[in-house]
Structures are given as structure tokens and as C-alpha cells.
Amino acid sequence: MSQKMATRHAIAETLLKIAREDARIVVVTSDARGSAGIEGFFRELPERTVEVGIAEQAAIGVAAGLALSRKKAYVFGPACFYSARGFEQVKNDVAYTGSNVKVIAVSGGVSYGPLGSTHHSLHDIAALRAIPGIDVILPSDALQATAITQMLVESEKPAYVRVGRNPIPVIYEPQSRFEHGKGVLLREGKEVAIIATGEVVWHALEAAQLLLEVGVNATVVDMPFLKPFDQDLIVEIANRHERIVTVEEHSIYGGLGEVVLHCLAQGPSCSVKIIGIPDEYPITGTQAQVYAHYGLDSRGIQNAVLDFLQRMG
């Protein structure tokens, strides 16, 4: 995991390569060319770009109109605004009409760090999963983000794709293959299973290595698709583990942890601990500082798992 790349850049670069051959692809943004990393698309294919300024609701409406005119519309901008300010337009203009719009929500979670709670998106999984007809996807590294971008181009279904801002380690190999709606078993252990989504997955892998050093062999599962959700894999994991820990850069309410609990309420019984942001406005600091404060980094995950195992006997 030595190589690092921002998932937002992987998506932007992949989309531009595909767009050179696919004239239906158009990009809409709301004063977010730099933060989304799509300056190259605007320079090379300006006739297929729309800049609406700081107007996220308008961006979604414009994209929906383009999609209903048989274009493949991609909206790039901050996750905090598209999952809140533009929520009604995503619900009504995109999902309700089944428009082929992909919302690439950048700087998700606490990526904006010092800008504070107004710029955090810690509710988006909960909000978007409640809308029928739209996929909710959190890539865990640049290679997976590239593969997911290729999937999105081939799909006519709306999607919300949440990515971070900063470069993160590449955890997959170039030859890795991904299936729409499916999770990935990254590491197989026996004492506990760690299930993570998005850009905290590599922290979960690092935590598993730390746990191994103290004699705990942990399974690690990456769940990039929060909707559709790979319930079969969760049930399979629960059948083989008495303890599950979920990790997400999201509120403890309505996110990965509660989706896992929903699956298990209908199947095998096991103990589950949710690691996420508690019911409070997070501290202000860098993304790394926020992670450390709430136990979302590798050392925090290791400590939470050990405490969980001790308490559960």
C-alpha cells in the first residue's frame, strides 16, 4: 500500500479517457472544477461541459435535463452540498424520473477538515439510501474508483458516488475485478470480522495487521456498494464470526453499521460494534485529526476491536 492517489482524480481521468470515444458523456459542475479534479475535461472537451456557478440545485436540474435528452450526465461537486442543498433535486429530478445522472460527490465525510461541520457530509449514506432507484457507492481506492467509473458509463441508472479529497493508499492490484453491488473479502481471519466502506477501508486493513501482532486474526471486508447491498456476503461473514465491527466515515445512524444490523436481524445472530461519528458535530481539525479523535484510524480501530472482544468475552 505504498502508492497513493486521490479517488476523485482517478474518476476524473477515467471519465475523460472514455469520453474521448463516447460523445454522449457530458459534465456539469458548480464552481468545483479544481476540487473535483476535472479541469482537464473542461480544457479538452469544453463543448460538453456546463458550469452553473455555486448553484448545486441548478446543476442537478441541468444534468437531469441533459440525461432526458439521451446524454450521460456527470455532476461533480462537494458531497456536503449535493446530499443536502441538492437533495430534493436528486430525489425528484434524477431518481424519480430515472434520469441517467451520476453525482460524483467529492470531499465526502470529513475531507474538508478545518472547514468544519458545514462542509462535512456525514449523513449522505442515510439520506441517499432512502431514495428509491439510485445507487449509493463509496470506492475504497483509486483502482476501484476507476473500475466503478467504467461500470457507471455502461449503466443507465442514477448513482451517487462519494469520494474523498486527499490521496490514499492503493489497496487493490491492477488486475483486480469488481462486480456491481458486491462486496470484497480482502483478508480472511477467524476471531473477528471488520467490515468497512469507502476511504477508511485501508485503515481497517492496517488495523488487521496491528491486531495480528497481538494475536488476533481478523477478517476484513470492503463494502463499496451501500445500495444495492451485498446481503449474501454479510450473512456469510456472520455465519463464520461471532463478532463483527463496522467502520465508516459517516454518522453511526443510518450508515453501514445499521445496514449490516438490518441484514443480521433477518438472519444469523452475532454481536456488532459500529465505529463512526457519534451523534454530535465533530471536532474541527484535519481529516487525520478527526479520524484519530473518533477512532477511525488504524490504531483507533485496533483498540476498539480489542475492547469489544474483551467486553464480549
Mean pLDDT score of the chain: 96
**Residue 16 belongs to what domain range?**
4-169
Query: Do residue 165 and residue 268 come from a single domain?
Result: no
12 lies in some domain: yes
Instruction: Count each helix (H run) and each strand (E run) in the chain, helices first.
Output: 13, 14
Looking at residue 241, its pLDDT comes to 96
H or E segment at 207?
A: helix 201-213
The rounded distance, in Å, linking the Cα atoms of 61 and 169 is 35
* Closest to 137 (Cα-Cα) out of 155, 120, 116, 115: 155
Query: Do residue 194 and residue 163 come from a single domain?
Result: no
The rounded distance, in Å, linking the Cα atoms of 86 and 135 is 16
Looking at residue 1, its pLDDT comes to 54
Query: Do residue 130 and residue 164 come from a single domain?
Result: yes
Q: Among residues 107, 142, 169, which one ends one of the domains? A: 169
Q: Kind of pairing, strands 135-137 and 159-162?
A: parallel
Axis-axis angle for helices 7-19, 142-154 (nearest 10)? 40
179 lies in some domain: no
pLDDT > 70 fraction of the chain, expressed in percent and rounded: 99
174 lies in some domain: no
Query: Do residue 31 and residue 77 come from a single domain?
Result: yes
Whether the pTM exceeds 0.85: the reply is yes
Q: Identify the bridge partners of residue 76 per DSSP, sorted by sequence position.
A: 29, 104
Judge whether 113 and 290 are in contact, CB under 8 Å: yes
The rounded distance, in Å, linking the Cα atoms of 127 and 110 is 17
175 lies in some domain: no
pLDDT beyond 90 at 266 = no
Helical H segments across 120-215, by residue range: 124-129, 142-154, 201-213
pLDDT beyond 80 at 288 = yes
Q: Among residues 142, 169, 196, which one ends one of the domains? A: 169
Query: Do residue 146 and residue 254 come from a single domain?
Result: no
Q: How many structural domains comprise the chain?
A: 2
Q: Which residue has the cell 473500475?
A: 147
Residue type, 208: A
Query: Do residue 228 and residue 297 come from a single domain?
Result: yes
Query: Do residue 120 and residue 188 come from a single domain?
Result: no
Residues in the chain: 313
* Closest to 277 (Cα-Cα) out of 257, 305, 249: 249
Query: Do residue 21 and residue 162 come from a single domain?
Result: yes
Tell me the average pLDDT across 116-130. 97
Looking at residue 2, its pLDDT comes to 62
CATH of the domain at 143: 3.40.50.970
Q: Among residues 169, 202, 232, which one ends one of the domains? A: 169
What digits encode the pLDDT tens for the residues 182-192? Answer: 999 999 999 99
68 lies in some domain: yes
Query: Do residue 155 and residue 57 come from a single domain?
Result: yes
Tell me the average pLDDT across 80-84. 97
Query: Do residue 28 and residue 116 come from a single domain?
Result: yes
What digits encode the pLDDT tens for the residues 212-252? Answer: 999 999 999 999 999 999 999 999 999 999 999 999 999 99
Classify the C-alpha dihedral 89-53-65-82 as positive or negative: negative
